[in-house]
Amino acid sequence: MESSDRYLRQTSLTEIGAAGQERLRDSTVLVAGCGALGSNSAEIIARAGVGKIILVDSDTVEMGNLQRQGLLREADIGEHKAEAVGRALQGINSEIEIDFKVERIAADNIERLLAGVDLVLDGFDNMPSRYLLNDACVKHGVPWIFAAVAGTFGMTMPIIPHRTACLRCLSPDPVPDEFVLTAGNSGLINTIPRAIVSLQATLALKILLGALDVPATLTTYDIWQNEFTSLEIKQGNDCPCCVRSEYPFLEGTSP
């Protein structure tokens, strides 16, 4: 099997080419969470030839995951998600390196996990974890792509530290849990994670290929109503994170 055959359709694109493919091969991406978002985004970047993918998740596979997490099989039930997803990715592309870590991302390990990483894909299912990720990535200058889904709706936004707005420019503090729509309280159609991660992973590829002028555009999509919206988020003049360099979620001092 020739690598040139694997990526022929991709290297034929003027946006990527052979040089771009080499750049993807030399990149490392951390996938934060291996649920509906993380597992699907990991599959896309593995097929695209990103050279190293680090999967981090502490959960085990349950029957209910199979409705929306395309890499998982019934035989995986009871196994750690990170391990099951990693095994599936290695079967898809044996030319890349897959590393999986069975641990929960928290303030005491996130900076270690970011070491040597070029970009992070948000696969979380809660906002406090995303604010922690935002603190760590902005502090260490690591681009990340925010994504969230619930019901028939999803959203994504690229965050490039010191160049774009960050998550706290969009929303300075997490909304209380009782006001946040999640898959747990509103259900989830299994097509919306794939739609959102297609946008998320495309942004990731663009950034890995050097497009650091990507604006912090919040794209939302209701797949049932077929309604797209797009809004560029401007950096807050006094953002506590990306302007004042305050990291309370990382330091454990958030209210």
Per-residue pLDDT of the chain (255 residues; tens, 9 = 90+): 556 689 999 999 999 999 999 999 999 999 999 999 999 999 999 999 999 999 999 999 999 999 999 899 999 999 999 999 999 999 999 999 999 999 999 999 999 999 999 999 999 989 999 999 999 999 999 999 999 999 999 999 999 999 999 999 999 988 776 677 777 788 999 999 999 999 999 999 999 999 988 999 999 999 999 999 999 999 999 999 999 999 999 998 876
In the chain, how many H helices and how many E strands?
11, 8
Residue 72's contacts (CB-CB under 8 Å, 6 or more residues apart) are: 39, 61, 65, 66, 81, 84, 85, 88
How many other β-carbons are positioned within 10 Å of the β-carbon of residue 184? 11
CATH for 34? 3.40.50.720
Q: How many domains does the chain have?
A: 1
Contacts (Cβ under 8 Å, ≥6 apart) of 101: 54, 55, 56, 82, 113
Q: What domain range includes position 64?
A: 3-251
Cα dihedral 161, 163, 165, 166 in deg (nearest 10): 0
Q: Compute the distance between CA of residue 46 and CA of residue 113 in angstroms, rounded to an integer.
A: 19
Contact between residue 214 and residue 160 where contact means Cβ atoms under 8 Å apart: yes
Helix (H, G, I), strand (E, B) or coil at 82: helix
